[in-house]
Structure 1
Amino acid sequence: MFGIPLFDLAWLVVALLAAGAITGLLAGVFGVGGGAVAVPILYELFRILEVPEEVRMPLCVGTSLAIIIPTSIRSFNAHRAKGAVDMTILRVWAVPVVLGVILGSIIARYAPADLFKAVFVVVAGLSAIRLLFGKDTWRFGLDMPAKPIMVAYGWIIGILSALMGIGGGQLSNLFMTFYNRPIHQAVATSSGLGILISIPGALGYIYAGWPHMADYPNVIAFQPPLALGYISLLGFVLFIPTSTWMAPIGARLAHRLSKRRLEVAFGIFLLLVCARFAASLIA
């Protein structure tokens, strides 16, 4: 099927379903869209499918943004039902975040593949340091900053999230906790950013990848019906069932359990991913 050996296809289906479950769980627990998990897994998948290096990373990022859409919606609804979402912050961030995503999608159309890896390494590396070594005393202030600064942060979150394939949760979690907001409120509010980022981001990556599909007519995984622009429909379809199923479970865990062990495990995972992408940049 699709020119892929049956055994390899079966293995990929199982791997993607399992990865979707992990992605959904992390989306709920950490208030992230799960892109930090989805992107590296998709990268290895597309390597096996022999997707050229020039389009592999943006295909991972675009697919991740599409996967985040249903995951973020379920995670956000679960957190909002508990009354933990700060809608005031989301309203301030809504427009600048979306504009940042649009700009990031335009950059994606013309950017070299290494740019996506570099952004991932920097942002994921900072997130890993925060997860592994962060302390409650790390603060920029005791209250959220003025609106102009919030708008600037929104732009940054939107652009970096679009280039990294994440729902913005990692960045907004860092920001809110640095300004003395409780971690549970930061997680819950961050889940709402996934919706603001993933929908325009996915549409933007269809736009960004569409003209490049004609350059690789022999790459089956980068052609219809398996892909639409920089979005892999195969990856999208297989991630959705388990990721949407696990997202509300993760949200419930976030409000009931200590997350320290999960934070350490996630931090180590991010460092390993950073090392993997950094090695490919050097090679």
Structure 2
Amino acid sequence: MDNLLLIFSICLLLGSFVGFMAGLLGIGGGLIIVPALLYLLPWVGVESSQLTHVAIATSLASIILTSFSSALAHHKRGNVPWNLFKPMLPGIMLGALASGFISEKIPSADLQTAFSIFVILMAIQMAFPFKPKANEQMPAFTVLFLVSSIIAIVAGLMGIGGGVLFVPFLSYCGIQMRSAVGFSSVTGCLIALAGTTGYIIAGLNAPDLPQGTIGFIYLPALFGIVISSMLVAPLGVKMASVWPTAVLKKIFALLLMVIGLKMAITA
């Protein structure tokens, strides 16, 4: 019980940091939440064989509410190109739902190694942003379906909303940046919702899970992260107009690089 309360309290602090950085730099929280949970969850008896799955699933579940509030704000500003959902929504939902079942088949150590590589790549992208040259013509329906499925699977496996992948792709397709960000905020919510469902179903009969889990989702950590991140995110948004976000992004990218390398070494 003491460890449970300690983890809940730490996750309140973690959620505050994640919410603030999300509002300040416009980044998803999964790249920080997952490494933190990989360190914290063994305290409550999560075995190494399930550790990475629980960390990623809990991170993905925490994205549901935070991405919903972001999506609602973008919708009110007219930033969401709803017409894109007809060709891409089926792939998004199918890929996200499948991610939980695919994850179950991957050993925890291999999943952690894949996540660490992903973190390093995202750190490089944040420090030296890749801006693809816009293509004036949208891809065919089949291409949009396949790309959205792949992005949703990767996002679900990594415990993120997928914005870091959708925004560059949509920018390449000629979509304006504000519309690409608005679209990714909605898809982040959908990926988190479908992916969380997949992780819950896939983890229902998983062995070695402690009390307080639903499938692969560890509820005390989830509640702590969500409560504080929702409250603190607006403060980060406010500070974004005052603080030097370009410099802070590079510092944060360096932090992610260190985290990714450490995880790769210890996986």
For normalisation by structure 1, the TM-score amounts to 0.82
1:270 equivalenced with 2:256 (yes/no): yes
Partner in structure 2 of residue 63 of structure 1: 58
Query: What SS does the corresponding residue of 1:44 show, helix, strand or coil?
Result: helix
Partner in structure 2 of residue 219 of structure 1: none
Partner in structure 2 of residue 157 of structure 1: 151
1:52 equivalenced with 2:47 (yes/no): yes
How many residue pairs get aligned? The number is: 267
1:241 equivalenced with 2:227 (yes/no): yes
Contact 1:63–1:235 (Cα < 8 Å) also in 2? yes
Contact 1:158–1:168 (Cα < 8 Å) also in 2? yes
- In the alignment, the residues of structure 2 paired with residue 33 and residue 240 of structure 1 have an alpha-carbon distance, to the nearest angstrom, of 13
1:231 equivalenced with 2:217 (yes/no): yes
1:237 maps to amino acid: F
Contact 1:124–1:270 (Cα < 8 Å) also in 2? yes
Deviation at 1:233, TM superposition (A): 0.6
For the structure 1 residues 140 and 278, does the alpha-carbon distance in structure 2 shift closer, same or farther, using more than 3 Å as the test? farther
Partner in structure 2 of residue 76 of structure 1: 71
- In the alignment, the residues of structure 2 paired with residue 83 and residue 154 of structure 1 have an alpha-carbon distance, to the nearest angstrom, of 22
2:181 maps to amino acid: V
Q: Percent identity?
A: 29
Alignment of 1:184-195 (within 5 A): 184-195=178-189
1:127 equivalenced with 2:122 (yes/no): yes
- In the alignment, the residues of structure 2 paired with residue 31 and residue 169 of structure 1 have an alpha-carbon distance, to the nearest angstrom, of 10
Contact 1:125–1:271 (Cα < 8 Å) also in 2? yes
Partner in structure 2 of residue 41 of structure 1: 36
Contact 2:16–2:232 (Cα < 8 Å) also in 1? yes
Partner in structure 1 of residue 81 of structure 2: 86
Partner in structure 1 of residue 97 of structure 2: 102
Query: What SS does the corresponding residue of 1:210 show, helix, strand or coil?
Result: coil
- In the alignment, the residues of structure 1 paired with residue 86 and residue 22 of structure 2 have an alpha-carbon distance, to the nearest angstrom, of 21
Of stretches 255-264 and 41-50 in structure 1, the one that deviates more from structure 2 is 255-264
Deviation at 1:262, TM superposition (A): 3.7
For the structure 1 residues 208 and 254, does the alpha-carbon distance in structure 2 shift closer, same or farther, using more than 3 Å as the test? farther
- In the alignment, the residues of structure 2 paired with residue 76 and residue 250 of structure 1 have an alpha-carbon distance, to the nearest angstrom, of 17
For the structure 1 residues 15 and 104, does the alpha-carbon distance in structure 2 shift closer, same or farther, using more than 3 Å as the test? same
Deviation at 1:238, TM superposition (A): 0.8
Structure 2: which 5+ residue stretches go unaligned? none
- In the alignment, the residues of structure 2 paired with residue 118 and residue 184 of structure 1 have an alpha-carbon distance, to the nearest angstrom, of 33
Task: Please provide the CA RMSD for this pair.
Answer: 2.7
For the structure 1 residues 27 and 264, does the alpha-carbon distance in structure 2 shift closer, same or farther, using more than 3 Å as the test? same
Query: What SS does the corresponding residue of 1:64 show, helix, strand or coil?
Result: helix
Of stretches 58-67 and 85-94 in structure 1, the one that deviates more from structure 2 is 85-94
Alignment of 1:153-232 (within 5 A): 153-212=147-206, 215-216=207-208, 222-224=209-211, 226-232=212-218
Partner in structure 1 of residue 140 of structure 2: 146
Contact 1:30–1:187 (Cα < 8 Å) also in 2? no
For normalisation by structure 2, the TM-score amounts to 0.87
